Amino acid sequence: MPNNDSRSPEHYVAPLDETPLLVIDKVDENAKPSNLWLDAWRSLRHSPIFWISSSMILFILFVGLFPFLFTNEPPNNKCDLDNSNGGPEAGHPFGFTKLGCDVFARVVYGAQPSLTVGITATLLVVIVGVILGALAGFYGGFFDTIISRVGDMFFAIPVVLGAIVLMQTLSGTRNALTVALILSIFAWPQVARITRGAVLSAKNSDYVTASIALGVTRFRVLMRHVLPNSLAPVIVVATVSLGTFIVAEATLSYLGVGLPSSVMSWGNDISQAQSSIRTAPQTLLYPAGALSLTVLSFLMLGDVVRDALDPKARAR
């Protein structure tokens, strides 16, 4: 005969005050909400490289904005040939150039045009690249195809080579703004391609789908949700590119197609010093050292910002 004993098995439930789950799973309701930018700042503020590079950049920017605080020599001071290739002396710690100009004053005042070109070119590249890359990645279709193919055309032209060709046609109107504009014409595709990839990744997120389902317009979704979450790689590239543009300006000036020789810039000083490098090496070492230090500062900052904005790098 079948066993009709249908007694249910006994279940043991631990008393609530004996389980540690309340302690383990407790949520700090007073803690501030975290996000990518807050986590990046927490990583950056503990990095010595970040503080060193930031301090160097701030100092260089301060020199470029207020050069008269660092030297008593006016920017248009007439050079004295009696001091040609002279060594350091009181009031002139870096010596003199072949034309008898104060090297220290030229290094100080040369920071302004070089920084102007770098910052202006970076801003133009970021504005154009972010706008075109975001529209191409978010809307896709024919618009994406056109921007991608135009970007590929510019990618085939080296930035410095293209700038040399165009700058030769502007021999009478060369200044810091024109140099920055020429450089940005050939450099925007890199930022556009990076922005496009970041937008393509962000637009498939759940919060974007939910926003569109709630009736939010696509353009508003792009501006309020997709684009702010796609700027991290753009910031890294912009930081590194700023130093690259400063080098490009110095290269153009060294070749004689950048800033006019009458403008105090590190590239012009390096170009003029090549004829006297054996007899007066200080005319080359000091402007070249200032250029290298500036570029190194931006590269160091770009590396540490990249690590801070990359969650995988923080996990390592």
Q: What is the CATH number of the domain that holds 242?
A: 1.10.3720.10
- What is the CA angle 284-290-292, rounded to 5? 95
Helix spans in the chain (H)? 21-24, 36-44, 48-65, 103-139, 141-155, 159-167, 176-202, 206-213, 218-221, 232-254, 266-273, 282-309, 311-315
Tokens 């290269």 sit on residue: 251
DSSP annotation of 4 = -
Q: Is residue 83 part of a domain?
A: no
Cβ-contact 83, 100 below 8 angstroms: yes
What length does the chain have? Answer: 316
Structure tokens at 40: 């990046």
Looking at the structure of the chain, the number of domains it has is: 1
- pLDDT means over runs of 10, the chain (316 residues): 54 58 53 68 86 94 91 74 79 82 89 92 94 90 89 88 86 83 92 91 83 83 85 89 91 88 86 83 89 92 85 54
Q: Is residue 75 part of a domain?
A: no
pLDDT value of residue 2: 52
Q: Is residue 97 part of a domain?
A: no
Q: Is residue 80 part of a domain?
A: no
Which domain range does residue 253 map to? 37-67+103-315
Q: Is residue 78 part of a domain?
A: no
pLDDT value of residue 86: 80
Q: Is residue 217 part of a domain?
A: yes
Name every residue whose Cβ is closer than 8 Å to that of residue 141 and which is 6 or more positions away in sequence.
Answer: none
φ, ψ dihedrals at 96, nearest 5°: -130, 160
Q: What is the DSSP string of 266-281?
A: HHHHHHHHGGGTTT-T
Distance of alpha carbon 196 from alpha carbon 134, whole angstroms: 5
Q: Is residue 76 part of a domain?
A: no
Cβ-contact 252, 160 below 8 angstroms: yes
Q: Is residue 50 part of a domain?
A: yes
